[in-house]
Amino acid sequence: MTSLNDQFPGFDFWEPHWQQFVTTYCEWIAERHSESLELFYIPPTAETNRGLHTLYALSSAELEAENAFASLCRRFHYCGVELCSANATNPINRWINFDRLDIWLPNPEDSLVEMCRNHGWDEDTLASVSVASVRAAGLSDRLPSIVGRLCCDPRFRNEREELRTEWLQLPARERPPFPLQRIHRIRSGNLPQVLQEELGLEHASDGMAQFARRLDQFLEEWQLQSLETWELPKPQGPHWPDFRESRDEHGAGTTRLSTPVRFPVLESDDIGRAAREQHQREARDCGIEDELKWKVYAELFRVGFWEQVLRQRYARASRARQFTTEMELVLGEIVGLSGERVRRLRRIRSSLVSGRRTNLTGLRC
């Protein structure tokens, strides 16, 4: 049978490489599947390898599988996969894509410029692409802070768990697949074509229709594009077209801006004073008084996410005696922070999740 890479010379496809990986590391995949349906790669460095070995006394074969999986995911710019079977020939439902989880990777916007250069684009066009890429990178760098705010918000966490419960209560074949996105105009007996194809169903039950309404409301309220996984809400970014020629110095004009309330707006953002002040009012009305702490929220997101990944990994393995201390050192290596800084962030996150604190105002962090 001709492979995709043979059919399309010059293109590199995920599936053949994944099949080879599954064949080589089938036992490792089966063990990871027993721990979680999602498998995320752990950024591979000499320090993280030593840390994983200390945490779980991993064998050389297990470390080899970890590094091979990370290399494969990085090659195709995925952060992980969703497994649907422990022993199928193709035990993957879908790959998971979420920017800025691995801080050691170059920005996707930088890769875009390089790709255009490799395709022979002229320097003038590359310059315009580069300017747009720098602007896009500056905006996307702030999106993890939104996820950090949400994942530390008790109300968001409670509503997400309620939604998860509703999803689990649906019969397995009626559960919309991830990523969970808006499902407009779904009614009993009227299932969108895309879901008919993915689920193999022709009609929506009352339960599906009710869940779809709840999902749409949830995504709308929290200004999300989707739920990539339950732990990875994908936020909406700002819609800021280049409208400098159509507005005055106060930001008035015919072009309409859209800025999610939790997105941090900086003084350097060229959106006009009126738009900036309006966003500040909306943020205050939503209880956000610590917008300048956005980098801390981004750190809180990454530390909380990677801690969960590490705690789920090798759940049956014997753990180091000083597991939490060693884990903080590994987390620091993954997110580029000191172990002491990670320890501080874990305490802050705990206070926010528990409701003991409602924001970071007045906190030295």
Report the phi/psi class of residue 204: left, alpha or beta, with left for phi > 0 and alpha for psi in -120 to 50. beta
Neighbours of 150 (CB within 10 A): 20
Residue 361 burial (10 A CB sphere; 0-12, 13-18, 19+)? exposed
Q: Which of 34-43, 181-190, 330-339 has the highest mean pLDDT?
A: 330-339
Q: What is the mean pLDDT of residues 225-238?
A: 95
Q: What mean pLDDT is reported for the chain?
A: 84
In terms of pLDDT, which residue wins out, 305 or 138? 305
Handedness of CA 190, 195, 201, 202 (dihedral sign): positive
Q: How far apart are the first and last CA of the chain?
A: 57
Q: What is the pLDDT of residue 4?
A: 45
Q: What is the pLDDT of residue 114?
A: 62
**pLDDT-based confidence at residue 244 (cuts at 50, 70, 90):** very low
Per-residue pLDDT tens digits for 75-86: 988 999 998 754
**pLDDT-based confidence at residue 193 (cuts at 50, 70, 90):** low
In terms of pLDDT, which residue wins out, 108 or 286? 286
Classify residue 246 by its DSSP letter: G
pTM of the predicted model as reported, rounded to 2 decimal places: 0.85
Taking a C-beta distance cutoff of 8 angstroms, is the pair 223, 262 a contact?
A: yes
The CB-side HSE value for 164 (13 A sphere, CA atoms) comes to 11
Q: What is the pLDDT of residue 220?
A: 96
Least confident of 63-72, 73-82, 120-129: 120-129
Q: What is the pLDDT of residue 184?
A: 64
Q: What is the pLDDT of residue 268?
A: 86
Q: What is the mean pLDDT of residues 91-97?
A: 75
Distance of alpha carbon 341 from alpha carbon 365, whole angstroms:
9
Give the type of residue at 245: E
Per-residue pLDDT tens digits for 246-305: 444 444 555 578 899 999 999 888 888 888 899 999 999 999 999 999 999 999 999 999
Q: Which of 122-131, 186-195, 246-255, 326-335 has the highest mean pLDDT?
A: 326-335
**pLDDT-based confidence at residue 358 (cuts at 50, 70, 90):** very high
Q: Which of 95-109, 126-140, 209-223, 340-354 has the highest mean pLDDT?
A: 340-354
